[in-house]
Amino acid sequence: MSIIPAGFTPLFRSSPFLDLLGPIYNQRSDTGLVIGLRAEEKHCNARGLVHGGVLSSLADVALGYNSAFAQEPPTPIVTSSLTIDYAGTAKLGDWITLETDVQKVGKSLAFANCYVVVESVRIARASAVFSVITR
């Protein structure tokens, strides 16, 4: 159950929250960073399904990291809006991936979309708007 697919490595950057949520993995692709997580008991609700809050947190990570690292140097951003629609479920042991499409990173805002996928089935879609931090 804890087997991580080939090509995925531990997330290159973390935080106390992500350490609690994880372990989270990443894989570089032609279109950006793919985020992965093996569903553990701690990710599940009382019905044995991965809690929507876990999927929402993963979407925020996938959308934010892909948007921030879409340019060199990386753009400092914070989430302004995150919308997620659930169309399916993930359960204990599932390998969950998130692939992101960064629409635009501008001077003040960034926009991105992603799908949450289990076994080639899209179980959720998310979109976010990020505020670019200017100092």
Confidence class for position 2, pLDDT limits 50, 70, 90: low
Q: Which of 3.30.450.20, 3.40.50.720, 3.40.50.300, 3.10.129.10 is the CATH number of 9-132?
A: 3.10.129.10
Q: What is the pLDDT of residue 117?
A: 98
Q: How is the chain split into domains, by residue range?
A: 9-132
Q: Tell me: the pLDDT tens digits for 65-124?
A: 999 999 999 999 999 999 999 999 999 999 999 999 999 999 999 999 999 999 999 999
Q: What is the pLDDT of residue 20?
A: 94
Which is nearest to 124 in space by CA: 84, 81, 83, 79? 84
Q: What is the pLDDT of residue 129?
A: 98
Measured between alpha carbons, how far is residue 60 from residues 27, 48, 55, 135 in Å?
Answer: 17, 23, 9, 23
Q: Tell me: the pLDDT tens digits for 46-64?
A: 999 999 999 999 999 999 9
